[in-house]
Structure 1
Amino acid sequence: MQDIDEMIDFFLYEKGESIKVNGAEQIALIVDAVDKLTYYDDKIIRCKCQIKTGDIVEYNNLKYIIISQIDKEENSYRARIRKCSYRVAFNWSGNIKWFDCIEESKVFDVSTGTYISVASGNIYITVQYNSDTRNIALNQRFYVTNQPFKVTGIDKSQEGLIKFNCALDLIDTVNDDVENNIADRWRYETGHTYTLTINNGDTANVLINDIMQLNLSATDNGIALANPVVTFTSSDSNIISVDNTGKVMGIAPGQAVIYAKLTYHNTVLDSITITTVETFTHSYTIDITGSITIKLGQSQSYVAHIYDNGTEVFDKSVVWSVRNQDGTTSPAYATITASTGNSVTIKANSSSTYINRYVVLKATLSDDATVYKEFSVQLKSLF
């Protein structure tokens, strides 16, 4: 090991891989742990940056926790990391925080060298010790894979880590958000209606080895989310790849569907079909941004964004129209009061009979009527 330590700069330059330690970019050597422990995905990390037991390491889009003591050489640090099994949410009176954890339904018996299953319905979870996790208390509830558990024991004996002994609990059908694995959510929150939209249109083309940025918008009960946490996937990463920021690259000729979903609300998603091409041709799409509701007698403004193969362009214009969604034509539930460029303002008429009815706002490309986008808006009471 001394030889590696003396040549650590060379090895990091030649074989080092990009990782993150507690969110900070670093370079490290990562190798599989060579021993008899095959139940876990353990690896050995070696780096020049200072590391501590409990640090979160991001490697190959996976999260690991440093579980060993740190072997400090003269020029480098070495430790064992273990892949996190899940992200779990703990709820403090409506303040929900997520933690990467190692979940165990078996424990390793040092004296026998074998794994022993814990009591039926019990698990252990290990998390990083920090200012948030130290507040997790006995009997606090959380979910793993849509099953509720409660904390029955807390072990803080290993510096940098906390291990919790947990027992299977009963589902609270009234207060638990089982689908999203959040205990007691509705005890402190009102219901949420989330939306997620890929604003680049329904289809786009990308050149081979070229990159296109997906643009997203997300709302919670009609209010825009500033920094939504989104997971991206490709139906065929050999044709179209996508990274965790929504950058799409054409890899080979063909077509793939790119999906975007809210990470902690995975039923809220949108998709776009992207074709890899060798020659660029125009493919226009339109997206409309603005509120999904208007109060009676009030106005809202909307903007049409025009995209060519997923990239926004500004040399095109749209024609606006609005209609009642239910097919009636008179009276109109809302009217256009102003239109400037690719922006429009519509006003909801004041009759109380229009409450919870919908209008459809339509933007049509000025020079191609086959390209258009429709946007549904609900009329709401003033009170």
Structure 2
Amino acid sequence: MDIFNISLNDDIDFIIQEIGEDVKINNKLTKAIIQNTKQERIFDDKRIITNSKIARGDYVEYNDLFFIVLPEVNCKKYNSYYKSIIRRCNFDIKFIINNKLYLFYAFVEGDKFTIEQQDVFSLSADNITVTLPYTEITRQIKKKDCFIKWGQKWEVQGIDYAKDGLVILHGKQTLINNSNDDIENEIANRYKDEIDILEGNIEPILPFDVVDEEPEIPEEPEPTEPEDNYSITIDGYDKMMVGFESTYTATVFNNDEEVDKDVKFEIDDTSLATIASQDGKSCKIKTNNNYKFGSFNLKATLVEDETVFVEREIKVVGL
């Protein structure tokens, strides 16, 4: 019987208790219905139904293996159960955070090498991504932090917080420092100036261990001002009649926000039209009285940076 295709109703509690299996969600014992997915051979994903609350980034322990809830769990369906996908954590990794050693169960993907069980088959060493739950501890992992796995040292070069509940680390292989790194115990940067940062305590703190004192959370970095990125638009008619005047207005933007900046207007063919007046924001153009038709370009250039400009084609037509 395919449990995931039956009609679930108020008897879901009974169904889960009868055919559900023992699991732990964030180390709390509960029952859930677990079934393989079509992606199982690739990622070892499984579907889960439970009446215990789950959210993206939760750890699920099932058959002595750890999984992470990957997709967002929007709500409790029919006020009765939660349904989601979990992916097996294929490796554990260690980080030193505030002079304490932490171990995390993680899902690791390789860019240019394949990972099977506990072995790595390198094709051309490059990048990996490490998916972890977002916690008060994992949020303290910083760029340039390192970890050791498979006898290789990896440096965190990017951190993605875009998915609520998850921290995705982008790592690149770096050189091992035999003076600083403990290869045997997979602890990067254990020693500094020949001093053991961990003071001999290499028993890692696991995700659900109680820590006596709250780790110090680093201050949020002050936001940096974005670089200037100017652009200009010109408002006005695309056509002008011979012998008439028309006004054109320029608007300057910096990173898509309007700013108060002056521009200089120019025309490339003064036989068709001339600029009668301009004030840095707009200009008045007068066409010729000789019944000469054609097109000219009106150019608006930022006064303080001549590399920023815009051109607009205007046609001179008859009455």
TM-score between both structures, scaled by the size of structure 2: 0.54
Shift of 1:8: 1.3
Distance 2:17 2:142 in 1: 44
Give the strand-richer structure, 1 or 2: 1
Partner in structure 2 of residue 29 of structure 1: 33
Greater relative contact order (Cα < 8 A, sep 6+):
2
Matched, 1:57 2:64: no
Judged with a 3 Å threshold, the aligned counterparts in structure 2 of structure 1 residues 3 and 141 are, in CA distance, closer, same or farther, namely: same
**Conserved in 2, the CA contact under 8 Å of 1:54 and 1:160?**
yes
Instruction: Give the 3 Å change call, closer, same or farther, for CA 36–44 of structure 1 in structure 2.
Output: closer
Q: Is the 8 A contact 1:22 1:57 kept in 2?
A: yes
* AA in 2 matched with 1:182: I
Residues 51 and 193 (structure 1), Cα distance of their counterparts in 2 relative to 1, 3 Å cut? closer
* Distance in 1 between residues matched to 2:123 and 2:163, nearest whole Å: 20
CA deviation map 1:329-366 (0-9, x unaligned): xxxxxxxxxxxxxxxxxxxxxxxxxxxxxxxxxxxxxx
Matches within 5 A, 1:271-310: none
Question: How far apart are the structure 2 equivalents of 1:167 and 1:70?
Answer: 31
Contact 1:21–1:56 under 8 Å retained in 2: yes
Amino-acid identity (%): 30
Distance in 1 (CA, whole Å) between partners of 2:100 and 2:54 is 29
Provide the C-alpha distance between the structure 1 equivalents of 2:199 and 2:168, rounded to a whole number of angstroms.
33
Contact 1:106 1:118 in 2 (8 A): no
Q: Does structure 1 residue 66 correspond to structure 2 residue 69?
A: yes
Query: Equivalents in 2 of 1:174, 1:3: separation in Å?
Result: 61
Q: Classify 1:36/1:58 alpha carbon distance in 2 versus 1 (closer, same or farther; 3 Å).
A: closer
Change (3 A) 1:192 1:13: same
Kindly provide the amino acid, as one letter, of the partner of residue 127 in structure 1: L
Distance 1:41 1:15 in 2: 21
Q: Tell me the CA shift for residue 13 of structure 1.
A: 1.9
Alignment-mate amino acid for residue 144 of structure 1:
K
Output the amino acid matched with 1:12.
I
- 2:147/2:155 contact within 8 Å kept: yes
Q: Distance in 2 between matches of 1:20 and 1:78?
A: 15
**Any unmatched runs of 5+ in structure 1?**
108-116, 195-219, 230-383
1:126 is paired with a residue of what secondary structure? Answer: strand
Deviations 1:72-126 (A, max 9, x none): 311000110000011111113522211111000159xxxxxxxxx9984210000
1:38 aligns with 2:69: no
Q: Rg larger in 1 or in 2?
A: 2
Partner Cα separation in structure 1 for residue 54 and residue 134 of structure 2: 14
Mapping for residues 161-172 of structure 1, pairs under 5 Å? 161-172=166-177
Q: Distance in 2 between matches of 1:91 and 1:16?
A: 38
CA contact (8 A) 2:56 2:69 kept: yes
Residues 99 and 197, structure 2, Cα contact 8 Å, conserved in 1: no
RMSD: 2.9
CA distance in 2, matches of 1:120, 1:228: 30
Q: Which consecutive aligned stretches of 4+ in structure 1 deviate over 2 angstroms post-superposition?
A: 4-7, 35-38, 117-120, 190-194
CA distance in 2, matches of 1:5, 1:168: 50
Aligned residue among 10, 15, 18 for 1:14:
18
Change (3 A) 1:69 1:5: farther
Establish whether residue 189 from structure 1 lines up as the match of residue 189 from structure 2: no
Query: For this pair of structures, how many residues does the alignment match?
Result: 189
Alignment map for 1:1-383 (pairs within 5 Å):
3-33=7-37, 35-36=38-39, 38-70=41-73, 72-74=76-78, 75-106=80-111, 120-187=125-192, 189=196
Checking the alignment, whether the CA contact within 8 Å between 2:58 and 2:69 is kept in structure 1 is yes
**Which consecutive residues of structure 2, in runs of 5 or more, have no partner in the other structure?**
113-121, 207-319
User: Amino acid of the residue matched to residue 173 of structure 2?
Assistant: L
Q: Which moved more, 1:63-72 or 1:53-62?
A: 63-72
Distance 2:200 2:168 in 1: 35
Distance 2:123 2:40 in 1: 18
- Contact kept, 8 Å, 1:94 with 1:189, in 2: the verdict is no
Amino acid at match of 2:179: V
Query: CA contact under 8 A between 2:100 and 2:198: conserved in structure 1?
Result: no
Letter of the 2:66 partner, please give it. Answer: K
Structure 2 SS opposite 1:4: coil
AA aligned to 1:48 is N
SS of residue in 2 equivalent to 1:14: helix
Task: Give the 3-state SS of the residue equivalent to 1:134 in structure 2.
Answer: helix
SS at match of 2:87: strand
The 2-side partners of 1:175 and 1:131 are apart by 26
Give the direction of change, closer, same or farther, for the CA distance of 1:58–1:128 in structure 2 (3 Å limit). Answer: same
Q: Secondary structure at the match of 2:42?
A: coil
For residues 139 and 25 of structure 1, the distance between their equivalents in structure 2, rounded to whole angstroms, comes to 37
Deviations 1:139-167 (A, max 9, x none): 11111222110011111100000111100
